[in-house]
Structure 1
Amino acid sequence: MTALRLRPTMLSDLDWVVSVERDGANLPFITPWERPQHEGAIRFPDSRHFILEAGDELHRIGFAILQGCRNPHGSVELKRLVLQAKGRGLGRAAVRQLKALVFTQLKAHRFWLDVKSLNTRALALYQSEGFVEEGRLRESVRSAEGYDSLVVMSLLDREYLARTALGQEEPRNP
């Protein structure tokens, strides 16, 4: 698997971030933001906005946004994970690094996300990485075909620790 690095997003990255969101391969699976929303996520202390870089030359291959990083209940949301290249294991590597960051650095109790039900690739990835379906928000987002449901999933700190003990997680800080 190609090495992957998370680095904080810079304002100079945002034109690229917006273009990746609006790419036809990604658009059906997300609700794109305007540039000012991304700027807010960079500046707001409760959020973390990352560029995902891979390869020897650390080319940008995607981005991720965490929200609730200062949540008093220890509940951090994976708001967005978008990759340019698919099918190379980079999504799995990104999810694992984000889990390690959320549970070891941010000391979260719960890491959660929602994913469109039509995004079967992402659903399978999150399930294989230990996320548990909590419920569905039926037909809650409009899509080109009508409406789609959101699947709410989460992973708890004790589940993450159990996966680490079983060797299913990398026990390192990102």
Structure 2
Amino acid sequence: MPAPFVRLRPTMLTDLDFVISVEQDAANRPFITPWERTQHEGAVRFPDFRHFIVEAGPEYASNGFVILQGCRNPHGSVELKRIVLQNKGQGLGRACVRLLAQMAFRDLGAHRFWLDVKSKNTRAQALYRSEGFVEEGRLRDSVKTDDGYDSLIVMSMLEHEYEALCAARANPQ
């Protein structure tokens, strides 16, 4: 499959109705813990966050959103807080993860890029593993869901791992 046309643009407050609608979509709710509008407003305004609209396709239509947190972390630990897309199975998630890893390591000077993912979200876990993330541990039954509790899997990639991955992609054998 050819790489999709994907770009990230900073979220504006006028985008928040779209953000909330994507987050509330029945296809996305089981895999995230939705935020209140004021939390998104804070993430748009606060410099420690980067909140982006994912635009995709030849017309760059809005397709979802992503949030980075810890952008000013003195320890160089940037978190992929959220990635929520409307269209799945088209390579958009992979394209976003690659753009965000590049942003974390090259633009924000991260030493560590990390995330947590619900244990039931096996599709996302497979994507993160294939993009170089390593499982660090589990926070057992740490989030309440509609049908009980779910565990969070903490995954990360270190700067030297990212550099090795980029070098391997540049020089396939």
**TM score, norm. by length of structure 1:** 0.95
Q: CA deviation at 1:168?
A: 6.4
Instruction: Read off the aligned partner of 1:124 and give its amino acid letter.
Output: A
Alignment equivalent of 2:105, drawn from 90, 103, 111: 103
Q: Could you tell me which amino acid in structure 2 is paired with residue 63 of structure 1?
A: F
Q: Which amino acid is the alignment partner of residue 29 of structure 2?
A: L
SS of structure 1 residue aligned to 2:136: strand
SS of 2:155's equivalent in the other structure is strand
CA distance in 1, matches of 2:133, 2:106: 17
Secondary structure at 1:71's aligned position in 2? Answer: coil
Q: Which residue of 2 aligns with 1:127?
A: 129
For 2:100, give the aligned amino acid: L
State the match for 2:73 in structure 1: 71
Query: Counterpart of 2:102 in 1: which secondary structure?
Result: helix
Question: 1:149 corresponds to which residue?
Answer: 151
| Fraction of identical pairs, as percent | 70
Task: Output aligned runs, 1:88-99, within 5 Å.
Answer: 88-99=90-101
Counterpart of 1:140 in structure 2 is 142
> 2:21 is matched with which residue?
19
The superposition leaves residues 59-104 of structure 1 with CA deviations (integer Å, 9 ceiling, x where unpaired) of 0011000000000000000000000000000000000000001100
Aligned partner of 1:42 in structure 2 is 44
Output the CA distance in 2 between the equivalents of 1:168 and 1:122: 24
The one-letter amino acid of 1:51's match is I
Moved over 6 A (4+): none
Q: Distance in 1 between the 2:148 and 2:170 partners?
A: 38
2:169 alignment counterpart: 167
User: Which residue of the partner structure matches residue 62 of structure 2?
Assistant: 60
What is the total number of aligned residue pairs between the two structures? 169
- Secondary structure of the residue aligned to 1:140 is strand
User: Structure 1: which 5+ residue stretches go unaligned?
Assistant: 170-174
Residues 45/154 of structure 1: CA separation in 2 closer, same or farther (3 Å cut): same
The amino acid across from 2:169 in the alignment is G
CA distance in 2, matches of 1:168, 1:128: 16
C-alpha RMSD of the superposition:
1.1
Q: In structure 2, what is the equivalent of residue 172 of structure 1? A: none
Distance 1:126 1:168, change over 3 A: farther
- Please state whether the residue corresponding to 2:96 is helix, strand or coil: helix
Deviation at 1:145, TM superposition (A): 1.8
Task: Note the C-alpha offset of 1:124.
Answer: 0.3
